[in-house]
């Protein structure tokens, strides 16, 4: 017999459970700031500025050497109210919860989870380190290990590190590594599920929402301008094809003479062939002027530009005047970007949406572990004998520490 006691509470709890089971990337990021958006009597609006710890330089000797203390912060803004709404009749409301879940809730929550994960993965464009060649799917473990090297050089924690790849990336590396580095039982499971599991220090997950990125058109022979000693978040360049959008937001660039440094020791990072040029992510589309000149807005460690000294030093030196500008990838290449990161690289915050009186039913359910709050509101339409059901989640994503992540070009 059909369950005639199906309540909004049962529906909402099942929705949350289904949502959790469909989330991928969202499960692995930090969520420790969520409760600050739901403090009764102390609402903070939709922006939370998350403080980051100050940094210091080495000092030695007996004499007192005071240092300025500079705190920085990252705004977490709740900008997205995801909604899935539909109406069901009295007859459909009388369904057993399992039938109701399969017919209505699973499709709605799978779509909601897809949206949340998709939005989170778009933060790849804030990450400045990248390995691999755009347009070539990595078929060797070395590419993924090199991502770990770049993170090591930024003092990222070793464990856990989560790696999100697209379906083709996963299929390629599973085939390439068949029989290697894992116990026989793990290999069997790998081929039963088609998933990598835990390999090479990463927890591998496949997410169909891995973003596709188009490398900027470029053109010309780009050089740093002849001005020496450039610092900050914008670098003047020249030599581009005139009056062209040469770079896209999210492009990775390097400048001659500007090397990556360890954030603690400030020593130049060594790569496979010597000093490692610092990577910078382009923060806005770049169009050259009629003479082929262009200012490139960039971001690097902790979201800063070029800083050559002090506690927040991001690189060894300013770009060499008239030195080469290098872009990762051939102009116009379109390809997916995987992402490896530690928990503290990104954050997702959710807020409790208010409940309203005068409705047939209203319910809000939260999961403390995942920090997700979902609201369901139900009204009744006597003209059609149906009850519209509205479900909402208010959330916002932010990058806390871009140096704790690395992109995988494919």
Domain boundaries along the sequence of the chain: 8-58+71-123+345-395, 128-212+336-344, 216-327
152 Rama class: left (phi>0) / alpha (psi -120 to 50) / beta: alpha
Map tokens 């924690």 to a residue: 157
How many Å apart are CA 119 and CA 135, to the nearest integer? 23
Among the four given CATH numbers 3.30.420, 2.60.40, 3.30.2400, 3.30.70, the one describing domain 8-58+71-123+345-395: 3.30.2400
Residues 115-137, mean pLDDT to the nearest whole number: 96
pTM of the model: 0.83
- For residue 86, give the nearest of 382, 395, 378 by alpha carbon: 378
104 pLDDT band, cuts 50/70/90, is confident
Q: Mind listing the pLDDT tens digit for each residue in 237-295?
A: 999 999 999 999 999 999 999 999 998 888 999 888 889 999 999 999 999 999 999 99
Cα–Cα distances in angstroms (integers) from residue 221 to residues 42, 240, 248, 292, in the given order: 55, 6, 17, 10
25's tokens: 């990337």
How many Å apart are CA 45 and CA 42, to the nearest integer? 9
How many Å apart are CA 392 and CA 380, to the nearest integer? 18
CATH architecture of the domain formed by 128-212+336-344: 2-Layer Sandwich (3.30)
pLDDT at 5 exceeding the cut of 50: no
Average of per-residue pLDDT values in the chain: 84
Q: Mind listing the pLDDT tens digit for each residue in 66-92?
A: 666 666 677 888 888 888 887 777 776
Cα–Cα distances in angstroms (integers) from residue 92 to residues 43, 363, 387, in the given order: 38, 19, 10
Q: At what angle do helices 106-121 and 8-22 cross, to 10 degrees?
A: 40
Can you list the positions of beta strands (E) in 127-196?
130-131, 161-165
What per-residue string of b and e applies to 242-261 under the rule 16 or more CB within 10 Å gives b? eebbbbbebbbbbbbbbbbb
Answer yes or no: are the C-beta atoms of 125 and 34 closer than 8 Å: no
Q: Is 350 exposed, middle or buried (0-12, 13-18, 19+ CB in 10 A)?
A: buried
| Preceding peptide of 310 cis, ω within 30° | no
């Amino acid at each position: 017999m059909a369950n005639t006691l199906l309540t909004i509470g049962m529906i909402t709890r099942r929705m949350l459970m289904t949502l959790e089971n469909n989330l991928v990337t969202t499960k692995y990021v930090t969520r420790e700031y969520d409760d600050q958006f739901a403090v009764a009597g102390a609402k903070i609006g939709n922006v939370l500025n998350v403080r980051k710890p100050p940094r210091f330089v080495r000092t030695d000797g007996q004499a007192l050497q005071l240092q300025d203390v500079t705190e920085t912060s990252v705004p977490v803004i709740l900008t997205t109210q995801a909604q899935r709404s539909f109406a069901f009749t009295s007859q459909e409301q009388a369904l057993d919860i399992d039938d109701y879940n399969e017919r209505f809730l699973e499709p709605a929550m799978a779509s909601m989870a897809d949206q949340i994960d998709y939005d989170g993965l778009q933060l790849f464009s804030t990450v400045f380190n990248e390995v691999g060649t755009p347009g070539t799917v990595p078929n060797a473990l070395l590419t993924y290990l090199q991502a770990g090297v770049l993170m090591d050089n930024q003092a990222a924690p070793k464990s856990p590190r989560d790696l999100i790849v697209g379906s083709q990336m996963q299929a390629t590396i599973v085939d390439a590594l068949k029989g290697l580095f894992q116990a026989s039982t793990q290999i069997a499971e790998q081929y039963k599920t088609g998933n990598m599991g835990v390999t090479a220090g990463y927890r591998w997950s496949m997410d169909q929402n891995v973003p596709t990125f188009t490398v900027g058109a470029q053109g010309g022979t780009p050089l740093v301008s002849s001005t020496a000693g450039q610092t900050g978040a914008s670098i003047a360049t020249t030599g581009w094809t005139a009056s062209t959008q040469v770079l896209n937001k999210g492009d990775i660039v390097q400048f001659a003479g500007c090397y990556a440094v360890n954030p603690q020791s400030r020593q130049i990072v060594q790569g496979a062939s010597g000093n490692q040029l610092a990577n910078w992510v382009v923060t806005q589309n770049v169009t050259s002027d009629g003479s082929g000149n262009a200012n490139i807005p960039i971001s690097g460690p902790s979201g800063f530009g070029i800083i050559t000294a002090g506690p927040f030093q991001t690189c060894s030196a300013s770009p060499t005047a008239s030195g080469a500008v290098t872009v990762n990838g051939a102009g116009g290449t379109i390809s997916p970007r995987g992402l490896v990161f530690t928990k503290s690289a990104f954050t997702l915050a959710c807020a409790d949406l208010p409940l309203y009186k005068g409705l047939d039913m209203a319910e809000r359910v939260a999961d403390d572990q995942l920090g997700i709050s979902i609201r369901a509101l139900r009204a009744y339409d006597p003209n059609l004998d149906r009850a519209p059901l509205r479900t909402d989640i208010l959330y916002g994503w932010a990058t806390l520490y871009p140096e704790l992540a690395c992109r995988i070009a494919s």
